[in-house]
Every structure is written in C-alpha cells, then in structure tokens.
Amino acid sequence: MNYIQQAFKVQNEFWRYLLGSLIIFIAALIGQLPLTLVVFVKVISEGGNLMNINEQTMYNILDANLFLFLMLISFVFALFGLFIAVKYLHKQKFVSIVTARPKVDWKRVFFAFFLWGILSSSMVIIDYYMSPAHYELNFQWERFAVLALIAITLIPIQTIVEALVFRGYLM
C-alpha cells in the first residue's frame, strides 16, 4: 500500500478534518499563552501600556532566547493536538501521516538532514568568503549555549509540525 492509498483505509470524513484542524489550532493557541502572559507581566511590571503591544514590541520586551523559546512552545502543543486528532478522531497510527511503511526510515531522515546541512553550511561559507564584511563575530558562550539548546530541541519540533499538518494531515 502506498502513502496515498492508506488515507482511504481510515476514518477520513471531511468533518473529521475540520474538527481535527480546530483541535490543532486550539492546542497551538493554548501553547501561545505562556508568551502572552510573560509579555503582559513584563509590560505591566515596567508600567507600560498593554494597548501598545505588537509583534515588534513583544520581541524587544523579552530577551531574544526567551522570546524564541516561548514562541516555539506553541508548536509542542500543536504536535500534541495533531496526535490527538490523528489517533482518536481519525483512528489511525500517528506514523501513518509520515510514511506508508510500518515505521519511520531514520536512515533516510538523517541522510536528508545531513545533505541539507552540508549544502546550507557550504552556502554560508561561500558567502562569507565572497563578502566577509557582511559578517560580524559576536560570540557569547552563555547565550549561544541557551540558543543551541532551544534550536536543537524546539526547531525540529516546529518544522515537523508544519510538515505534518500541511503535508501529512491536511493533504
């Protein structure tokens, strides 16, 4: 059975996708509450006006690493919402929205990861040597370590959620 054919073996009525999309959306909104609460508390504690908050002020109010962490948390909640929709609403295995195989082929995943990593790194290195004036060394070990931890754990979740929702679930 191929990837497309397996979609017809599960409960796939249109209303299930509407409800599943709503579940994922609500989960993502719940995941945005920590960011919203931290920004509101920070603005109120500094005597600011809540009516003047927009995306740019939210970014400027918080430390960049904290903002990134709180922003990416919503994808963890969205992943949980997607899991609930797939498993309980559509009554199918979660892996079925990734592959038609019984399990994920991790060798293919890591091959693609390293291939794109090598290509991306090569392009940055080439760009650096072509125009070094566009780059500035500003290394701070503590901030980098926190950023690396956030990036290694949460950015893959963010990309997985986007790929699964828009390519695996809604397609």
The tens digit of pLDDT for each residue in 111-151 reads: 999 999 999 999 999 999 999 999 998 899 999 999 999 99
For 99-114, how does the pLDDT look when each residue is reduced to its tens digit (9 = 90+)?
888 898 999 999 999 9
| 46 domain-assigned | yes
Indicate the average pLDDT of the chain.
89
| Structural domain count, the chain | 1
CB 72 within 8 A of CB 29: no
**For residue 13, is it within any domain?**
yes
In a domain, 165, yes or no: yes
Domain membership flag for residue 142: no
Q: Does the residue 145 lie in any domain? A: no
> What's this model's pTM, rounded to 2 decimal places?
0.83
Q: Is residue 59 part of a domain?
A: yes
pLDDT band at 4 (very low <50, low <70, confident <90, very high): low
Task: Kindly state whether residue 141 falls inside one of the protein's structural domains.
Answer: no
For 83-117, b/e burial (b = at least 16 CB within 10 A) is bebbeebbebebebbbeeeeeeeeeeeeeeeeeee
Task: Report the interhelical angle of 64-84 vs 141-163 (nearest 10°).
Answer: 30
Residue 23 within a domain: yes
Domain that holds residue 12: 5-102+154-169
